[in-house]
Amino acid sequence: MSANHSNKVLVLFICLFGYTMNGYSQNYKQASEIGVFGGGAYYIGELNHEHFVQSKVAFGAVYRYNLSTRHNLRFTAIYGSVYGNDVNSNNAFENTRDLNFNSSLFELAVGYEINFFKYAIKDMKFPFSPYFFYQLAYTRINPQTNYDNIIVDLQPLGTEGQNSVLSDKNSYSLNQITVPLGIGIKFNLRKRVAISIEYGIRKTFTDYLDDVSGAYVNTLLLADASGPLAGDLSNKTDIYQSGMNRGNPSNKDWYSFYGFMITFKPFKYDVCKAMKGN
């Protein structure tokens, strides 16, 4: 199949999808919008309690399908990482606990975006709008820690006794379903080119993004069951004994992406009408 033929097939697919959604678009000419995202990421959980603290770089891509001047479908793919470290805490218990983690985040999300004002990337009559978005996402996590200058994957160790006789819990999954929610403001830099400033927080259904949730287990028994490294990383102090709280299982972890998106409308004319004429 030639590249030219492949492009026509892709455009035809977009157009057919647009026609099926025509009832929602209120006869407004539908348009595709593509772009890139750059910004930061952080998490809220047992090893960090403050927003925007301990942020790391995030980047990704976005595709919007404009149903009308008020409503858009949005598809995003974002990669970033988050971390937390007890040495940064002002809490004496957390300082003594002395845990740290870093996790990469790869998120694929689809959802809906609502403009507060009429907005069109192709029309300078409607040049800006605040907006709200909600999505459903697949997120890949992988909590790790630095132990004697070696990066160690935490999930296979079962630091709270997972997959051993010390706990009735299985290993937590590295594949998670999350719910992104957020706000932003978008405005046209010129016709067909726009910038968005956006903040979004992700509700997760796991308390193990940081590998910390429940209670301490007996480190000697854990070392026998899962290896000495699991015992060492489960409890770094002699003060906190088996059965004492290591984390708070009643609160799930959250993470956020925030930053800028540059988007543009790739087609100068109504390619759907052109396709109908061919």
Q: What is the pLDDT of residues 226-272, one digit of tens each?
A: 999 999 999 988 788 898 999 999 999 999 999 999 999 886 655 45
pLDDT at 55: 96
Of the chain, the percentage scoring pLDDT greater than 70 comes to 85
pLDDT at residue 122 in the model: 81
Among 108-112, 120-124, 151-155, 162-166, which is the least confidently predicted range? 120-124
* Assigned token pair, 24: 């929602």
Write down the CATH number for the domain with range 3-277. Answer: 2.40.160.20
- Whole-angstrom CA distances from 223 to 100, 146, 158, 233, 245 are 20, 19, 10, 10, 19
- Which residues, 6 or more positions from 104, have their beta carbon under 8 angstroms from its beta carbon? 79, 80, 81, 140, 141, 142
* Arithmetic mean of pLDDT, 62-76: 93
The pLDDT, as a whole number, for residue 2 is 53
Residue 128 predicted with pLDDT over 70: yes
- Mean per-residue pLDDT, 63-77: 93
